Amino acid sequence: MGKKILLAHDHVPGIQTYEVYRKHGGYNSVEKAIKTMSPEAVVEEVKKSGLRGRGGAGFPTGMKWSFLAKPEGVPRYIVCNADESEPGTFKDRYLMSRIPHILVEGMITSSFALGVNTSYIYIRGEYFYIVNILEKAIEEAYANGWLGKNILGSGYNLDLFVHVGAGAYICGEETALLESLEGKRGNPRIKPPFPAIAGLYGCPTVVNNVETLAAVPFIVNEGGDEYAKVGIGKSAGTKLISASGHINKPGVYEIEMGITVEDFIYSEEYCGGISNGKKLKAVVAGGSSVPILPADKILNLANGEKRLMSYESLADGGFGGGTMLGSGGFIAMDEDTSIVENLFTFARFYHHESCGQCSPCREGTAWMEKILHKMIDGHATLSDIDLLWEIQAKIEGNTICPLGDAAAWPVASAIRHFRSEFEEYVKNPKAINKVTRMAV
Amino acid sequence: MAKVTIDGRTIEVPDGTTILQAARMIGPEVAPPTMCYYSKLKTSGGYCRTCLVEVTKGSEKDPRPMPKLVASCRTNVMDGMEVGNVTSPKVTEARKGVVEFLLLNHPLDCPICDQAGECHLQDLSYEHGSSKTRTDFERRTFEKIDIGEKIQLHMTRCILCYRCVKVANQITDGRVHGVINRGDHSEISTYVQQAVDNDFSGNVIDVCPVGALTDKTFRFKSRVWFTKPVNAHRNCEKCSGKVNLWYKGEEVLRVTGRKDQWGEVEEFICNTCRFDKKNTSDWTVEGPTAVNRHSVISANHYEVFKQPTEFKLNVVKPLSIEEGEQA
Ligand SMILES: Cc1cc2nc3c(=O)[nH]c(=O)nc-3n(C[C@H](O)[C@H](O)[C@H](O)COP(=O)(O)O)c2cc1C
Ligand code: SF4
Ligand code: SF4
Ligand code: FES
């Protein structure tokens, strides 16, 4: 069994409640930080831990925290990004609904570290039932003196609010999230300035993913060095992976980074192999935005070594031959899956979710969906494949926020690795249309 | 101060200048096209992506190139920065893509559009686009909407540059104008189609780069190149009163703000000047407006015709002004 940090007490009955959570060491990190450490020392531990953002980009959290501007007399904010909307990703939902206090604790300790007196959890609208769970946890934390005025008699004050979004993928992009939190239309901001300088209400702000903040209690309790020992190299710690698709045991798994992809897919501890005894065809390893890889490429590196579940190993091979850990949304597809139809599902999603501010993404995502739709309907020609390729290339890198890239990469990688399947599909749509479409 | 080189031409500019502003200071040859940026509107720019440029050297201190093309209207220069605009093949390619995206759902109804002849999208596609379309899908359409009595919104032509939204936010009071819906369903809208009714709302017409917002008092009256702009002013208590009057014969067909060489109004004007003062007697006329020789508006313009020296020997006899007028 691999090391468990976030889900260590997942099996404990009643861990959702304050009493049980506290009995298992909950809120110790708040006590330790406030009573025995300086805020800077907490930041130092997080730096040492090598923790990287779990929201998708993998940016080192300690470094992000140290960029936070601290002008006199201006409030600072921590905003937890719980907008989790990337197709294939449902790890934050699992964590928040099972162990809500770990997020609340992580936010208190992190807020103390950054001298923040007001923090927010921005949660997607569809997670309405989790809102209740979180609000109950927050209420319990207030009642027990972990939130509010003069926490543990230290003079440190913190208020924590849950803000419910309306359910837009784009509001997971950190600056769109801030706009939405301010009550505006969720359009990403043009950067710079970055949130660390001018974020919520123009004040310095740190935006972190649920899983990132939930790792902070362990780091404070056990020390950054202990955390860094888990995992492999620059991929320190554990990662929640939400596994879905044609596997025997879909669900959320906490893995120690560095296990092989093969192990993750086939071992009984994790996915338990491909369902119905079928063969693995392809994997989207980190949520719908990351490049899709065919089975051989996801299992093995170009040099023949086994590919590992880590930031570096998954990215090995660059864009041509690798992919990304992303948000940990692991989608496995069996031999019967139509890559074209799966891509259509993704393209439809990005078209639907584009905020529409910048022309390449607004127009390009819609165009790509239409072409793929035409393909599915059996009216496309071979030149449409090239056109798709060109459209994605014109979107990528030319937009305001990374949603444009996120819409382009799946198209690019599907064509790159499965071009012949696209050609088959276009030439003989009837034969292929029998194949089941992946529901994501 | 920062030294910046754009397409091989170097200029020194104050810190905080954007790449676009620096390029405009050098001259129109190196200035990237802009569809959404408007120097008089705060936070404008960044949306259309036509002004993308390649930064091949970040600065003297950090010479690394920038990994992606950047929007020149929203990126500040650094000392020692080197930028490729027309000289960068990457930029040319990307810009071609942007033009294609902007035209993807555009109705191309120029023959019946009041903006034709002074439309930035026409210019842009002429200069940077390709002559063929690669889409055969039905284009997005919307119903026409009247925004009050004097302005019409033809959303089908809109390129979502957000300029009118900024005008509504920044120079008219009580914002009732914004964007609704998302992605390619986005739509400029006034709150429950409420009329934008205040003294400066007419400026949305002038800032609109395409024919999405037009002056209903000028609708279908004339192609712009058959009208003649003159500079005129009047004593106005609300605005500077400095305008262009657009004449056809003796008649003032429309009144607009005066535009500079980048197509931006020099000063915003009020609705009284724009919509209610259509008699020559309302104005002090200063003289003909200088019109760029490349503009179609110059085709019928009576500004003194400068004979190009190479034609001095006069193979073809240029029309004299009077002859041109009569023709
Ligand atoms: C279109 C888009 C959607 C995103 N959605 C999420 C999300 O749902 N949750 C999240 O944590 N980060 C999301 N991100 C990443 C955030 O912008 C941001 O990088 C992240 O919240 C930072 O937290 P971290 O450093 O802890 O990873 C998204 C980014 C983009 C461009
Ligand atoms: S890339 Fe797409 S989602 Fe991001 S700002 Fe542009 S239009 Fe909006
Ligand atoms: S109506 Fe005109 S000014 Fe307004 S967003 Fe559309 S194109 Fe821009
Ligand atoms: S002018 Fe710069 S992005 Fe539109």
Query: Residue A239: which CATH number?
Result: 3.10.20.600
Beta bridge partners of A294: A282
pLDDT at B195: 64
**Are A273 and A16 a contacting pair, CB within 8 Å?**
no
What span, in angstroms and rounded, lies between the C-alpha atoms of A392 and A411?
A: 7
Does A355 lie in the same domain as A323? no
Does A34 lie in the same domain as A66? yes
d(CA A188, ligand 3 centre) in Å: 19
CB contact under 8 A, A366 and B97: no
- Per-residue pLDDT tens for B10-44? 999 999 999 999 999 999 999 999 999 999 999 99
Structure tokens at B239: 């605005």
Q: By percentage, how much of chain A surpasses pLDDT 90?
A: 95
Chain B: give the shortest CA distance to residue A387, in Å.
8
Does A240 lie in the same domain as A221? no
Domain that includes residue A253, residue range: 235-334
Contacting residues of A for B37, CB less than 8 Å apart: none
CB contact under 8 A, B182 and A356: yes
Contacting residues of A for B128, CB less than 8 Å apart: none
Task: Encode burial over A375-405: b for 16+ CB neighbours within 10 A, e otherwise.
Answer: bbeeebeeebbebbbebbbbbbbbbbbbbbb
Q: How many Cβ contacts (< 8 angstroms) between chains A and B?
A: 90
Residue A259 corresponds to which amino acid?
I
Domains of chain B, with CATH numbers? 2-96 (3.10.20.740), 106-131+140-215 (3.30.70.20), 224-298 (no CATH)
Structure tokens at B222: 């004339």
Does A325 lie in the same domain as A359? no
Identify which of A174, A189, A358 to mutate to test ligand 2's pocket (most ligand atoms within 8 A of the CB). Answer: A358
pLDDT at A34: 98
Please indicate if any CB of chain A lies within 8 Å of the CB of B69: yes
In a domain, A439, yes or no: no
Q: Which helix (DSSP H) or strand (DSSP E) does residue A80 occupy?
A: strand A77-82
Instruction: Give Cβ neighbours of residue A255 (< 8 Å, ≥ 6 apart).
Output: A2, A238, A239, A241, A264, A270, A309
d(CA B213, ligand 3 centre) in Å: 7
Q: Report which ligand 2 atom has the smallest distance to the Cα of A355.
A: 8
- Per-residue pLDDT tens for A99-134? 999 999 999 999 999 999 999 999 999 999 999 999
Average confidence (pLDDT) over A197-202? 97
Average confidence (pLDDT) over B115-125? 94
Q: Is the pLDDT score of B326 beyond 50?
A: no
- By Cβ distance, the residue of A351, A353, A359 closest to B49 is A359
Average confidence (pLDDT) over A32-39? 98
The residue in chain B having the minimum alpha-carbon distance to the alpha carbon of residue A368 is: B135
In a domain, A1, yes or no: no
**Are A215 and A106 a contacting pair, CB within 8 Å?**
yes
Domain end point (choices A185, A206, A229): A229
pLDDT at B311: 40
Lowest mean pLDDT among A26-35, A39-48, A351-360, B284-293: B284-293
What is the Cα A141 distance to its own chain's centre?
26
In a domain, A351, yes or no: yes
Contacting residues of A for B137, CB less than 8 Å apart: 367, 370
Coil, strand or helix at A272: coil
Q: Give the max Cα distance, chain A.
A: 73
- In 3-state terms chain A splits into helix, strand, coil percentages (rounded to 5) of 45, 15, 35
ipTM for this model: 0.92
How many residues comprise chain B? 327
What span, in angstroms and rounded, lies between the C-alpha atoms of A357 and B26?
A: 29
Instruction: Give Cβ neighbours of residue A105 (< 8 Å, ≥ 6 apart).
Output: A26, A27, A29, A30, A141, A146, A217
Domain with residue A66: its CATH number is 3.40.50.11540
Q: Could you give the count of Cα atoms lying within 13 Å of A2 in the half-sphere of its Cβ?
A: 26
Please indicate if any CB of chain A lies within 8 Å of the CB of B296: no
Most confident of A113-122, B106-115, B196-205: A113-122
- Per-residue pLDDT tens for B205-233? 999 999 999 999 999 999 998 999 999 99
- Smallest-distance ligand from the CA of A363: 2
Does A161 lie in the same domain as A32? yes
pTM reported for the whole predicted model: 0.92
Does A328 lie in the same domain as A309? yes
pLDDT at B130: 86
Which one is predicted more confidently, A241 or B190?
A241
Q: Could you give the count of Cα atoms lying within 13 Å of A352 in the half-sphere of its Cβ?
A: 12
Contacting residues of A for B189, CB less than 8 Å apart: none
Average confidence (pLDDT) over A293-313? 97
**Are B245 and B295 a contacting pair, CB within 8 Å?**
no
pLDDT category at B307 given cuts 50, 70, 90 is: very low
pLDDT category at B318 given cuts 50, 70, 90 is: very low
- Per-residue pLDDT tens for A130-181? 999 999 999 999 999 999 999 999 999 999 999 999 989 999 999 999 999 9
